[in-house]
Amino acid sequence: MRIIPAIDLIEGKCVRLTKGDYSTKKVYGANPLDVAKEIEDAGLSYLHLVDLDGARSSHIVNHKTLESIARNTALRVDFGGGLKSDNDLAIAFNSGAAQITAGSVAVKNPDLLLKWIEQYGPEKIILGADAIDRKIAIQGWQQNSEIDVFDFIIQYMKKGIKYVICTDIACDGMLQGASVELYTDILAVCPVNLIASGGVSDMNDIHRLQKIGCEGAIVGKAIYEGKISLKELGDF
């Protein structure tokens, strides 16, 4: 299972939110490149980079930070947040993203997402399936929908999606454990490369996610709060 540390960006700084609430913003580092280099130095190869400014404003904002990390490290970066147009996507890939995560656009403009899958290939496009009470949420989690997370994933699997990041919003930033039950249920009906995100609090959570068959696990707040060390993750 891949271990994917996360950096969330607001105004070019590393932050974490709780349950996606922007009012809970906590700044952990002024320089995301320094954090990315620490991740690389620990022997990790992947980074989940989220443009929270972009998610809120519906267009890419922090692409210069992406470019800096991609240029100065060997990390394979998946980038998400505010990718709503062909131009946004081109900027993300031209700035060094190895993959992008598409969430809101998959709900609001599915034809555009299908075009991206065809144009860039399914290896480069990750479906963002962020959910609360097993219903999809969009726009940086500011809007809820009535779309069932299982139906959502299955719909896009049929159209070529191979990778899915699923965040249980109720767990995100809480450090109270990953949503193992939800991911187990998803994997039972959706044979997809599932990347778990949200709630990871210790190495036991990592082992549980590996046991149920997740392809990857995103770790954020647990790193910044000292619950899990980068060395532990690098040695996994």
List the catalytic residue out of 8, 53, 78, 205: 8
Sign of the Cα torsion 37, 38, 43, 44 reads: negative
**Cα–Cα nearest to 136, from 118, 155, 120:** 155
Q: Is 151 known to be catalytic? A: no
Q: Give the separation between CA 97 and CA 78, rounded to whole angstroms.
A: 6
Q: Is 78 known to be catalytic? A: no
Helix, strand or coil, per DSSP, at residue 75: coil
Neighbouring C-beta atoms of residue 207, cutoff 10 Å? 12
* Max CA distance (Å), the chain: 42
Neighbouring C-beta atoms of residue 225, cutoff 10 Å? 14
Query: Where would I find the H helices in the chain?
Result: 32-41, 52-57, 63-72, 86-94, 104-108, 110-120, 149-157, 180-189, 203-212, 221-224, 230-235
> Are the C-beta atoms of 161 and 120 separated by less than 8 Å?
no
Q: Give the separation between CA 198 and CA 176, rounded to whole angstroms.
A: 9
List the catalytic residue out of 130, 168, 172, 205: 130
* H or E element, residue 9: strand 2-10
Q: Which residue numbers are catalytic? A: 8, 130
